[in-house]
């Protein structure tokens, strides 16, 4: 969703130390709870998710984050990543533009890297995103086709002060060509765990950072989240 996304996907491909590789035994499809049981999703959605989640190239659970924010604002940002990216640009951060397609999907492009994704399941405790596209993880690396499923889990906890602490965590399932995965692994080597931690943290921060800013500076929230320019 930001320029960290390509590095994040590359790090997942190269990071067996922090992720579960294809072929390892799995007790269930996900570590994090799905917001909607898989069997209750439409058949087309189940099939698309199953192709990735049942036979991923690699999967990883990112560290959880906690922050203080208004839950309504945070949930709105999850459903409007284009406005979230716009808010970051208004704050002077170089975030890649995200476009909303006519069918409700979202489109992200940064040079040869591009992703199209949509929310395929939504519940009070999280979201499931399905993405297809290609990423170029490095200047001298080839473009890698990817299909991904991201399970975002979030929970609210009220404080005695009246504030609400939101806890969010992300699990990613990634499917790509095995030859491309092997190449990235050889090139990134021991730096992959650090890249995975930084990349996943930035993806979570993409939403939580704006939600927290809107909470801490309510006088600026309306202008920040509006559709207009700075």
Average pLDDT over residues 79-102: 91
Residue ranges per structural domain of the chain: 4-222
CA distance 22 to 92: 40
Distances in whole angstroms, Cα of residue 104 to Cα of each of 26, 99, 127, 197, 229:
33, 10, 15, 30, 22
Residue 10 near residue 137 (C-beta atoms within 8 A): yes
| Tokens 């906690």 sit on residue | 66
Q: Phi and psi of 161, rounded to 5°?
A: -75, -10
Instruction: Identify the band that residue 95 occupies on the pLDDT scale cut at 50, 70 and 90.
Output: confident
**pLDDT (tens digit, 9 = 90+) per residue, 40-70?**
999 999 999 999 998 887 777 878 999 999 9
Kindly state the tokens that stand for 137: 């993880």
Instruction: Identify the band that residue 178 occupies on the pLDDT scale cut at 50, 70 and 90.
Output: low
Instruction: Identify the band that residue 11 occupies on the pLDDT scale cut at 50, 70 and 90.
Output: very low
Q: Please give the CATH superfamily to which domain 4-222 belongs.
A: START domain (3.30.530.20)
Average pLDDT over residues 21-47: 78
Average pLDDT over residues 76-95: 92
Say yes or no to pLDDT of 213 above 90: yes
Average pLDDT over residues 183-199: 59
pLDDT for residue 123: 94
Residue 185 near residue 174 (C-beta atoms within 8 A): no
Q: Phi and psi of 202, rounded to 5°?
A: -70, -35
* 148 vs 2, residue with greater confidence: 148
Mean pLDDT is lowest, of 9-18, 43-52, 88-97, 123-132, for 9-18
Instruction: Count other Cβ atoms within 10 Å, centred on residue 209.
Output: 20
| Tokens 């001298």 sit on residue | 140
CA distance 31 to 70: 26
CA distance 15 to 188: 9
pLDDT for residue 151: 92
Say yes or no to pLDDT of 228 above 70: no
In the 8-state DSSP scheme, what is residue 228? S
Kindly state the tokens that stand for 103: 């069918």
Instruction: Identify the band that residue 194 occupies on the pLDDT scale cut at 50, 70 and 90.
Output: low
Mean pLDDT of the chain: 81
pLDDT for residue 165: 97
Average pLDDT over residues 200-217: 88
Distances in whole angstroms, Cα of residue 34 to Cα of each of 61, 139, 155, 230:
13, 36, 13, 37
Q: Secondary structure of 93-131 in the HEC alphabet?
A: CCCCCEEECCCCCEEEEECCEEEEEEEEEEECCEEEEEE
Say yes or no to pLDDT of 93 above 80: yes
**pLDDT (tens digit, 9 = 90+) per residue, 122-153?**
999 999 999 998 877 666 677 888 888 989 99
């Amino acid at each position: 969703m930001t320029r960290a996304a390509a590095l994040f996907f590359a790090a997942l491909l190269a990071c067996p130390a922090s992720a579960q590789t294809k072929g390892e035994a799995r007790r269930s499809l996900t570590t994090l709870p799905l917001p909607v049981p898989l069997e209750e999703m439409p058949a087309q959605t189940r099939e698309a998710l199953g192709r990735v989640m049942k036979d991923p190239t690699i999967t990883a659970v990112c560290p959880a984050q906690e922050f203080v924010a208004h839950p309504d604002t945070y949930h709105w940002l999850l459903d409007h990543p284009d406005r979230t990216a716009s808010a970051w640009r208004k704050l002077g951060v170089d975030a890649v533009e995200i476009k909303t397609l006519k069918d409700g999907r979202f489109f992200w492009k940064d040079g040869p890297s591009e992703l199209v994704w949509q929310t395929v399941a939504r519940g009070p405790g999280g979201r499931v995103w399905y993405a297809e596209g290609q990423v170029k993880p490095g200047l001298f690396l080839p473009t890698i086709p990817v299909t991904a499923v991201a399970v975002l889990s979030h929970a609210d906890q009220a404080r005695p002060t009246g504030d609400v602490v939101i806890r969010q965590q992300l699990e990613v399932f990634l499917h790509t060509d095995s030859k491309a995965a092997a190449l990235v692994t050889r090139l990134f080597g021991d730096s992959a765990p650090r890249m995975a931690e930084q990349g996943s943290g930035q993806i979570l921060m993409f939403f939580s950072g704006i939600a927290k800013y809107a909470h801490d500076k309510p006088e600026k929230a309306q202008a920040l989240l509006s559709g207009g320019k700075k």
